[in-house]
Amino acid sequence: MSKRRQLTEVHLKRRQAAKELSLPITDWHVVKLATALVNYDGIQARLAAGELVATDEIVKAEALVAEARASAEPPPTVNLKICQTLTGICPVCKAEIDLGPSPPEPRKPPPASGPLPATSSEPGGSAAPKAKPAFGADNVVPVRSPSPASAL
């Protein structure tokens, strides 16, 4: 007949922590939480025995347990759905409104071929006219109306 070893308090706390966190008993989050719980229970036992325990020690033990529980929370899940059409929501009735197909991808600029032409400001440069930039949402700057004081 083999005798079963009696589980220590640490092993019992590991089982409890593994069940609480839904993780395997060997996971480091479980070990961290179990160790924090054993520490906290030891402080509570000392208090129950009539020993004086510093308040700071109790607060630190509680913070350690809270941190161990918080660090074991799984990261939030992200669901990504790529849609082929745009859908809006009516602000009044909250109905979904089909806005049609999604806008086309913006055109990419053609790759630059060859060296850039020299300008007149460079030594030996030519006075070639510069191409005007295309107007779009990227290069439009709002214009402020001049104030009467600045006209003076």
53-69 as b/e: b if 16+ CB within 10 A:
eeeeeeeebeebbeebb
Each residue of 40-91: pLDDT tens digit? 999 999 999 999 989 999 999 999 999 998 888 776 788 877 777 777 788 8
**pLDDT-based confidence at 136, cuts 50/70/90?**
low
Burial class (CB in 10 A: 0-12, 13-18, 19+), 13: buried
Comparing 59 with 148, which gets the higher pLDDT?
59
pLDDT at 2: 60
**pLDDT-based confidence at 126, cuts 50/70/90?**
low
Helix (H) or strand (E) holding 40: helix 28-48
d(CA 14, CA 41): 13
